[in-house]
Amino acid sequence: MAAPRRAAVLGSPIAHSLSPVLHRTAYRELGLTGWTYERFEVDESGLPAFFETLGPEWAGLSLTMPLKRAVIPLLDEISETAASVDAVNTVVRTEDGRSVGDNTDIPGMVAALREHGIDKVDAAAVLGAGATASSALAALSRICPGEIAVYVRSEARATEMRQWAERLDVAVRIADWADAEQALRAPLVISTTPAGVTDALARSVPERPAALFDVLYDPWPTDLAARWSAYGGAVVSGLDLLVHQAVLQVEQMTGLAPAPLEAMRKAGEQALAER
């Protein structure tokens, strides 16, 4: 049995984070008595001071935006995956006190898609161009050899997406948000927008939709996901992503694999149902 350790999710705000539910469930299932997973409100300015308090009892940290980028200068090492998108959502504390950063959002996306039978697509569309969209591009670089259409609402965002496309070596076509309904005919649509942004697109879902990955999980389902599912299309939810990336975090922080995916998913579903 592993010695009791501490882990936590950091962010501002993080009041509605499901991470504690998922990680604590994993600890119980893995028999990690005494392990704790906490929640700390930390902003970018307070992050360096928080790191100075980390002792040998710490196993790792989960990070939300904007800390995913702010943490990088504080780390001893980051993975190639994290470096590819300049975003670290997972910090593992090694036995010698080093802090190693990784990004489990990207492989978590791939795993969530694979769980729904989506291993490869010839083309894809991404709705939105924020931080999650760059992770979506990185995930698509692993499963989509064809063109990725990214629908954006500003030229500034378009420029950012072009830069990410070049960096990740993916074929991207930038499209105006006014034409976003065209995205819904792609073999795979990944929606990375905040709640409510895609509601108006629900009425444009085709009669035979392919696959939709909507990264939101609360509220769920979104109008777009509900219509997509009603028309028989495959739907991957933000909870699927959250659980799969948390599974990878648990495995890295505890050194135990596999993490209890189904127990963690059920705990997340229950937590959402009780809100």
Measure the CA–CA gap between 226 and 219, rounded to whole angstroms: 11
Q: 108 — phi, psi (to 5°)? A: -65, -40
Over range 12-19, report the average pLDDT. 76
Do the domains 5-102+242-274 and 106-236 sit in the same CATH topology, yes or no? yes
Q: Which pLDDT does position 131 carry in this prediction? A: 85
Active-site position among 5, 23, 68, 93: 68
Q: b/e for 216-244, b at 16 or more Cβ within 10 A?
A: bbeeebbbbbebbbeeebbbbbbbbbbbb
| pLDDT > 90 fraction of the chain, expressed in percent and rounded | 93
Q: Which pLDDT does position 14 carry in this prediction? A: 66
Q: Which pLDDT does position 65 carry in this prediction? A: 84
- CATH superfamily of domain region 106-236: NAD(P)-binding Rossmann-like Domain (3.40.50.720)
pLDDT in tens, 179-188: 999 999 999 9
To the nearest whole number, what is the mean pLDDT of the chain? 95
Over range 230-248, report the average pLDDT. 97
Task: Give strand ranges (E) for 157-262.
Answer: 172-176, 188-191, 211-214, 234-236
Give the confidence band of 2 by pLDDT, cuts at 50, 70, 90: low
Measure the CA–CA gap between 51 and 200, rounded to whole angstroms: 43
Q: Which pLDDT does position 16 carry in this prediction? A: 63
Q: Which pLDDT does position 31 carry in this prediction? A: 96
Whether 120 sits among the annotated catalytic residues: the reply is no
- CATH architecture for residues 5-102+242-274: 3-Layer(aba) Sandwich (3.40)
Measure the CA–CA gap between 225 and 60, rounded to whole angstroms: 34
For the chain, the domains span 5-102+242-274, 106-236
Q: Which pLDDT does position 137 carry in this prediction? A: 97
Q: Which pLDDT does position 167 carry in this prediction? A: 94
Q: Which pLDDT does position 15 carry in this prediction? A: 57
pLDDT in tens, 52-109: 999 999 999 999 988 999 999 999 999 999 999 999 999 999 999 999 999 999 999 9
Q: Could you tell me the pTM of the whole model? A: 0.95
Please return the burial class of 83, using the count of CB atoms within 10 Å of its CB with bins 0-12, 13-18 and 19+: middle
Q: Which residue has the higher pLDDT, 3 or 195?
A: 195
pLDDT in tens, 126-178: 999 988 999 999 999 999 999 999 999 999 989 999 999 999 999 999 999 99
Please return the burial class of 178, using the count of CB atoms within 10 Å of its CB with bins 0-12, 13-18 and 19+: exposed
Of the candidate ranges 11-15, 53-57, 213-217, 265-269, the one whose mean pLDDT is the lowest: 11-15
Give the confidence band of 252 by pLDDT, cuts at 50, 70, 90: very high
